[in-house]
Structure 1
């Protein structure tokens, strides 16, 4: 039987009650987002709590909050927070982003989100997995995220999002409607020169030229991680 958890160097993610498990995409987002200097961070749609925990590890002075609409996932994220070295700085809210917005939280310096993005694909028979993977007006729409960020980001704050390139184009349109603008973009490839898999894009209130970089997960030959990926993930992955 496969493990029901994913062990990192400084924390463990229990994930048997979560529809979406730990994946490379989310790990890249958690490792590259600019959390330095932030005092308040928010993980939108936290799932297992992975991004919140990575942010807490990287920024030892930050208070990290997380929002998760699925009650089972929120409970598991809360348990993962309690078991971590940073339990006193982590908190999960088991509610929708809209409901959380209604509480009028204090502004955040950084928001992280790996949002649902399968808008037109066949729905999974697993309701929790569908909520985690598909956008819908009653779950976590791109417009909900961007409007929340417009309202609750500090003037110099950032919203950092991971999506496939086509969906990121849609998200950028929603962000523009909310007066949020891309400032950095990491293009993630399976291997150097291969088709882009994901974009990790940071948005802010102020438009500026976009600083773009690339990351190949694997080396050119063999199924070995690239040196750049190993350097990025060395604070987190075991055996790197």
Structure 2
């Protein structure tokens, strides 16, 4: 039975995907620094959510979305075909580490990625969900190598991770000539510590812009969260 989530300008059917539509994905898509033209790569697109948000935000951007899982890739293709931007959205069903071998270096103007989060811990019983959530098939070291190889000198990679994994990625990125140029610490409520890090990585070193967002305040979504996501959520 199909299911899905309707946004203001598109619909996402996430049936069969290891990771369904989530607040994490919407936050990253809305916050990401996107090139307004050229080539954007969505690594591990899943249902295609991030690629669709990017297509809405950047009207002339060409977007390639790569996905290793056949069921998720099929869902992304269907979601792209049903969207207003189907001509600019392209789904590639392949392992990113293999696809990388056919690509020229410094050929991508921007990257967006909601990567596998966890390096350890119990894995989900569903293989689709385990692949989407754990780094067995795509480690953070492989992610950083991919970013270093593909990004142009002006390019920016946008990533969301749990706080601990995000801090580790920032430290590891230096060995790949990548620098954190912006970060946003995400809290679910004011009384809780940040659980997610939104990151922008670039080859150009500069002072890191530090931001913060709290999703819920006073029993409702916060003003900051509403302002960031109002172009996408139906009820914002």
TM-score category of the 2 structures, normalised to the smaller one = over 0.9
- Structure 1's unaligned 5+ residue stretches are none
Relative to structure 1, the CA distance from residue 98 to residue 201 in structure 2 (aligned partners, 3 Å threshold; closer, same or farther) is same
Aligned position for 2:198: 200
Structural RMSD (CA): 1.4
Structure 1 SS opposite 2:116:
coil
Task: Give 2:171's match in structure 1, choosing from 170, 173, 183.
Answer: 173
Alpha-carbon distance between aligned partners in 2 of 1:146 and 1:59, rounded to the nearest angstrom:
25
Task: Give 1:225's match in structure 2, choosing from 215, 221, 226.
Answer: 221
Corresponding position: 1:109 with 2:109: yes
Deviations 1:213-233 (A, max 9, x none): 1111111x22x1111111111
Alpha-carbon distance between aligned partners in 1 of 2:191 and 2:102, rounded to the nearest angstrom:
46
Alpha-carbon distance between aligned partners in 2 of 1:30 and 1:182, rounded to the nearest angstrom:
18
Corresponding position: 1:131 with 2:127: no
Deviations 1:161-212 (A, max 9, x none): 1001110122123321211010000111112352001010100002111100
Q: TM-score, normalised by structure 1?
A: 0.94
Contact in 2 for aligned 1:38/1:110 (Cα 8 Å): no
Alpha-carbon distance between aligned partners in 1 of 2:18 and 2:150, rounded to the nearest angstrom:
28
- My pick for the range that moved more, 141-150 or 188-197, is 188-197
Aligned position for 1:91: 90
Corresponding position: 1:186 with 2:174: no
- Structure 2's unaligned 5+ residue stretches are none
Contact in 2 for aligned 1:74/1:94 (Cα 8 Å): yes
Q: How does 1:20-31 map to 2 (within 5 A)?
A: 20-31=19-30
Deviations 1:100-143 (A, max 9, x none): 1011157111101111112111011111110010011xx11111
Alpha-carbon distance between aligned partners in 1 of 2:214 and 2:171, rounded to the nearest angstrom:
26
Aligned residues: 235
Alpha-carbon distance between aligned partners in 2 of 1:67 and 1:21, rounded to the nearest angstrom:
16
Contact in 2 for aligned 1:97/1:144 (Cα 8 Å): no
Deviations 1:36-83 (A, max 9, x none): 424211110100000000000000010000111101101110110010
Alpha-carbon distance between aligned partners in 1 of 2:123 and 2:35, rounded to the nearest angstrom:
38
Structure 1 SS opposite 2:181:
strand
Alpha-carbon distance between aligned partners in 1 of 2:226 and 2:35, rounded to the nearest angstrom:
21
